[in-house]
């Protein structure tokens, strides 16, 4: 799936990995973002690396896409040429699109339920996703939180209900998200992220559906002056590990890696909970008006979002997601 090299030249790939000097000693961890505390990928990677070092293993975090962008990272993981990486969850969706259901609005009530579902609850759905990834040579070590909950940003007005959306156009990531916005009663326009700022300036779109971390990282708060806190889902990433590398470790090293993964996931939970508050404060400090819809308005957003679940999730997976959500409630 990720590369033909894994299937055509597996012996060469493994030979390159295990022949590298210091393979058993140094764990290389790749992330795309720069080394900044606002980036959950880098924070997670550093927590993982620190835990490995505490366990006697050498580990180095390579930030700023110095080892490649996400597709290149997963190719290296699949071949056993890289040990660990934190990427967009879309890398999992290429193998098993059922992962998309975890970001469908209002599947989970809050981030605590999301983490219970992904880290504590027995789930045939997640087991199947993990198995499909492992068939491609990659272990899913975690689904780290990206920050605060999903909401709406725009450049012109407060949005307190779906009725306030009628004259706004939102940047969509794909045709499926366009249909979600249609369910909300507004228009979506597919725009690539690098073109977003220009699209706002040209009046093509007025905003987007994202967590607070996105405009804070990309400085979009300079023109996106209104945020509606919809609490519509926990954004997340993918912590991925090379199966070839892990399988070749000794029992003691595997135990160290397992403990480091557990530590990184636990620290990410706390980081995510804190970010949900601190990011709102950062938005307000940047001059963004934050609107929290009342319960009736949120209920209408939720009702309309649920109508779009069949579009946002692969065929047949809605019932699986609902079962996992039910099992992870308190």
| pLDDT tens digits for range 154-175 | 999 999 999 999 999 999 999 9
Q: Please report which confidence band the pLDDT of residue 14 belongs to, taking 50, 70 and 90 as the band edges.
A: very low
Give the count of beta carbons closer than 10 Å to the beta carbon of residue 174: 11
- Specify the pTM: 0.89
Which pLDDT value is given to residue 217?
Answer: 86
Which pLDDT value is given to residue 324?
Answer: 96
| pLDDT tens digits for range 275-299 | 999 999 999 999 999 999 999 999 9
Asked if the model's pLDDT at residue 4 lies above 60, the reply is no
Closest CA to 34 of 25, 43, 47: 43
Asked if the model's pLDDT at residue 306 lies above 90, the reply is yes
> Which residues have a Cβ under 8 Å from the Cβ of 191 and sit 6 or more positions away?
171, 172, 199, 204, 205
Asked if the model's pLDDT at residue 316 lies above 50, the reply is yes
Helix axes 70-79 and 10-19, enclosed angle (nearest 10): 90
| pLDDT tens digits for range 208-230 | 999 999 999 899 999 999 999 99
**Please, are residues 96 and 132 in contact by the beta-carbon 8 Å criterion?**
yes
| pLDDT tens digits for range 109-149 | 999 999 999 999 999 999 999 999 999 999 999 999 999 99
Which residues make beta-bridge pairs with 8? none
Tokens 């098993």 label which residue? 96
| pLDDT tens digits for range 49-86 | 999 999 999 999 999 999 999 999 999 999 999 999 99
User: Which structural domains are found in the chain, ordered by start?
Assistant: 4-147+235-278 (3.40.190.170), 151-233+279-312 (3.40.190.170)
Measured CA distances, 256 to 49, 110, 230, 246 (Å) = 11, 31, 39, 11
Torsion of CA 6, 9, 12, 16, to 10 degrees: -30
C-alpha–C-alpha distance, residues 135 and 144, integer Å: 22
Q: What is the mean pLDDT of the chain?
A: 92
């Amino acid at each position: 799936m990720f590369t033909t090299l894994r299937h055509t030249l597996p012996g060469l790939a493994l030979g390159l990995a295990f022949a590298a000097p210091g393979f058993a000693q140094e764990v290389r961890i790749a992330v795309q973002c720069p080394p900044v505390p606002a980036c959950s990928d880098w924070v997670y990677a550093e927590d993982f690396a620190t835990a490995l070092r505490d366990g006697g293993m050498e580990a180095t975090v390579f930030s700023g896409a110095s080892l490649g962008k996400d597709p290149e990272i997963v190719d290296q993981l699949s071949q056993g040429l890289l040990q660990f990486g934190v990427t967009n969850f879309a890398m999992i969706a290429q193998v098993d699109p059922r992962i998309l259901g975890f970001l469908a609005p209002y599947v989970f009530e809050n981030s605590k339920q999301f983490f219970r579902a992904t880290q504590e609850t027995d789930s045939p759905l997640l087991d199947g996703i993990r198995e499909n990834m492992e068939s491609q040579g990659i272990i899913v070590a975690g689904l780290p939180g990206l920050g605060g909950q999903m909401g709406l940003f725009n450049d012109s007005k407060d949005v307190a209900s779906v009725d306030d959306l009628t004259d706004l156009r939102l940047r969509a990531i794909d045709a499926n998200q366009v249909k979600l916005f249609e369910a909300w009663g507004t228009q979506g326009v597919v725009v690539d992220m690098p073109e977003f700022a220009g699209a706002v300036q040209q009046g093509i779109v007025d905003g987007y559906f994202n967590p607070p971390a996105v405009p804070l990282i990309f400085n979009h708060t300079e023109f996106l002056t209104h945020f509606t806190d919809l609490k519509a889902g926990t954004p997340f990433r993918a912590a991925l590990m090379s199966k070839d590398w892990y399988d070749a470790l000794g029992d003691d090293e595997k135990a160290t890696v397992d403990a480091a993964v557990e530590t990184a996931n636990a620290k990410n939970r706390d980081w995510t909970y804190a970010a949900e508050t601190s990011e709102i404060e950062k938005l307000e400090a940047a001059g963004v008006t934050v609107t929290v819809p009342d319960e009736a308005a949120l209920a209408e957003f939720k009702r309309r979002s649920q109508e779009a679940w069949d579009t946002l999730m692969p065929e047949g997976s809605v019932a699986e997601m609902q079962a996992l959500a039910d099992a992870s409630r308190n």
